[in-house]
Amino acid sequence: MRQVVLYIAMSLDGYIAKEDDNIDFLSLVKRPGEDYGYHAFQHTVDTLIWGRRTYDKVLSFGMPEFPHKDKKCYVLSKTKTGKDVNVEFYGGDLRDLISSLKQKPGKDIYFDGGSEVVAALLKDQLIDKLIISVIPHLLGSGIRLFKDGRPEQYLTFTKSISFASGLVQLWYDCRTSV
């Protein structure tokens, strides 16, 4: 069965960006030839879900080509509808989208933020697996990965990988009971 996988990076103190959406701290662990398993992970997914601000941020990088042309991509938006050349905008119930995707054959579903969407998915316990890369940096403030007010959720540790840069990647399966 297809799983929803959150694959994301955060600072050691739990932030995915500064208050102004700046994510420059991610480059602190950039090393030639090291992608921290991202390329291998991409082979396990065929569908992508992003929040609108995350999508806009990716477009601001000015890449010559959209990096996920080989995947079905959804961007969650309350104001934008339809499609553009890269994605389909979705403004409906997130539970319905996830349920529909899980009923179709395919690979896993890659989810990468932002924090509002993470909160919504956690609230409804729609995430099956967490892969969180922890950047060895303390931002002090910013946009937290995990917002308050979500239900308690039990996790099963599956593995961790540490890298020479100091980045530590944590893998957990999500479950709804002990």
What are 110-166's pLDDT values in tens digits?
Answer: 998 889 899 999 999 999 999 999 999 999 999 999 999 888 899 999 999 999 999
The residues with which 109 forms a beta bridge, in sequence order, are 4, 47
Distance CA 175, CA 173 (A): 7
Q: Is the pLDDT of residue 177 over 70?
A: no
What are 93-109's pLDDT values in tens digits?
Answer: 999 999 999 999 999 99
What are 10-59's pLDDT values in tens digits?
Answer: 999 999 999 999 999 999 999 999 999 999 999 999 999 999 989 988 88
Q: How does residue 176 score in pLDDT terms, banded at 50, 70 and 90?
A: low
Cα torsion angle, 146, 149, 151, 154, sign: positive
Secondary-structure breakdown of the chain: helix, strand, coil percentages, each rounded to the nearest 5: 20, 35, 45
| Annotated domain spans of the chain | 4-175
Residue 72, Cβ density class (10 Å: 0-12 exposed, 13-18 middle, ≥19 buried): middle
CATH architecture of 4-175: 3-Layer(aba) Sandwich (3.40)
The residues with which 108 forms a beta bridge, in sequence order, are 45
What stretch of H or E contains 27?
none
